[in-house]
Amino acid sequence: MIPYGRQSISEDDIAAVEAVLRSDFLTQGPAVPAFEQSVTSYCGAGHAVAVNSATAALHIACLALGVGPGDLVWTSPISFVASANCALYCGAEVDFVDIDPATYNIGVERLAEMLVAAERSGRLPKVVIPVHLAGQSCDMAAIHVLAQRYGFKVIEDASHAVGARYKDDPVGSCRYSDVAVFSFHPVKIVTTGEGGIALTNDAELADRMRLLRTHGVTRDEAVMEGESRGPWYYEQLELGFNYRITDIQAALGTSQMTRVDDFVERRRAIAARYDEELANQPLTSPWQNPDTRSSYHLYIIRLHKGRSHREAFDELRRRGIGVNLHYIPIYLQPYYRRLGFEPGHCPEAERYHASAISIPLYSAMSDADEQAVVDAVKAVAGA
């Protein structure tokens, strides 16, 4: 079976991890700040806070921005559940902005419409979380304009978008947002095994997120509420979490970051071949906004005719093609249905869900694997 995603681990990656295993620090050592520096240097952001998952990064980003009970957070329905769950962890409420039918990202026109109605009702969101689906950035400049007008904060869920660009900037620069979050799960462009990072240009936000990732505990005398009683002394200032990433993971991430451009260029080359080979087939290939340069975490197609969605999945998998679906609209999950959401809440997202298929794309794919995917897709699409 050709999987839809797979990590690429080099001998240098293995050596970097081995060096940590032979060192004095397996966690809370120098490898974590070195990894954070590698990401800020690449993206051009001021600060980075590495944690044990992108979910943790989204959670502490919400908390650092003051999200709590009585607040409202909006995000895209076409994402993994963590993009919405992070707000619920804070005691806030969640709503969903329907997607753009071309990019499958959060629809800016729909967002503007919802904001007009929310302003009239006195129920504006505190935070909006646009999701860069498949590695293509949302229209962040337009979202930034709306944020300035309506006073909400912006967290980019850039879990898919390490190595992507928007206009002239790397995704993660936070030029149009307060915080940007990356994921380093094994199927992502860069991996630490499990892990995530929150980027920001706001030093106070970064300090708050660092505190939250380590139980809310500090040894920094400058921020203690009492007087230090010795080198052993620490204070818990907030109810934080154990969201730390290990030095083992961070070392792998730093090594992987040296190849991020190679990973992305290879993914883009595979996507270009798919574009060419599937151009005349009865399916929709990913449309790319000219202001963006996707990292192509995913390649999503939509079949026009022939087999049903389920039949197409089953047939492609029978042919050894590990297709997947990204994603079921979050609000259709049983948990969210119990919160009061119903089918029809985001019609475009539901149309997408009924026909979307993610086909294999990862940097280590062989030419033979690419051809096998193309041949199987053509056979199923034309059936």
Residue 221 carries which DSSP code? Answer: T
CATH classification at residue 205: 3.40.640.10
Question: Residue range 311-317: average pLDDT?
Answer: 96
Does 5 reside within a domain? Answer: no
Which residues constitute the domain of residue 363? 260-381
pLDDT range class, residue 383, cuts 50, 70, 90: low
Instruction: Extract the tokens encoding 259.
Output: 């190849």
pLDDT 10s digits, 345-371:
999 999 999 999 999 999 999 999 999
Summary mean pLDDT of the chain: 97
Q: Residue 89, preceding bond cis, omega within 30 degrees?
A: no
Integer Cα distance of 360 and 278 in angstroms: 14
Kindly report which listed range (60-64, 222-226, 242-246) carries the lowest average pLDDT score.
Answer: 222-226
Does 1 reside within a domain? Answer: no
Predicted confidence (pLDDT) at residue 305 exceeds the cutoff of 80: no
Q: Are 65 and 90 in contact (CB under 8 A)?
A: no
Contacts 24+ apart (CB under 8 A), 227-233: none
Query: Angle at the Cα of 372 (from 366 to 374), degrees rounded to 5?
Result: 105
- Residue 382: what pLDDT? 81
Q: Are 247 and 25 in contact (CB under 8 A)?
A: yes
- Residue 306: what pLDDT? 72
- Residue 153: what pLDDT? 98
Q: Are 357 and 310 in contact (CB under 8 A)?
A: no
Predicted confidence (pLDDT) at residue 71 exceeds the cutoff of 90: yes
Q: Write down which residue in 238, 257, 276 finishes a domain.
A: 257
- Residue by residue, DSSP assigns 247-260 as HHHHHHHHHHHTTH
pLDDT 10s digits, 171-223:
999 999 999 999 999 999 999 999 999 999 999 999 999 999 999 999 999 99
- Residue by residue, DSSP assigns 181-194 as EEE--TTSSS--SS
| 215 and 290, same domain (yes or no) | no
pLDDT 10s digits, 80-101:
999 999 999 999 999 999 999 9
Residue 302: phi and psi, rounded to 5, are -135, 120
- Residue by residue, DSSP assigns 271-310 as HHHHHHHTTTSSEEPPP--TTEE---S-EEEEE-SSS-HH
Q: Write down which residue in 257, 288, 323 finishes a domain.
A: 257
Question: Residue range 228-232: average pLDDT?
Answer: 90
| 170 and 32, same domain (yes or no) | yes
Per the structure, the count of domains in the chain is: 2
Residue 280: phi and psi, rounded to 5, are -105, 15
% of residues, the chain, pLDDT over 70: 100
Q: Are 158 and 171 in contact (CB under 8 A)?
A: yes
Residue 198: phi and psi, rounded to 5, are -115, 125
Predicted confidence (pLDDT) at residue 126 exceeds the cutoff of 90: yes
Integer Cα distance of 204 and 151 in angstroms: 19
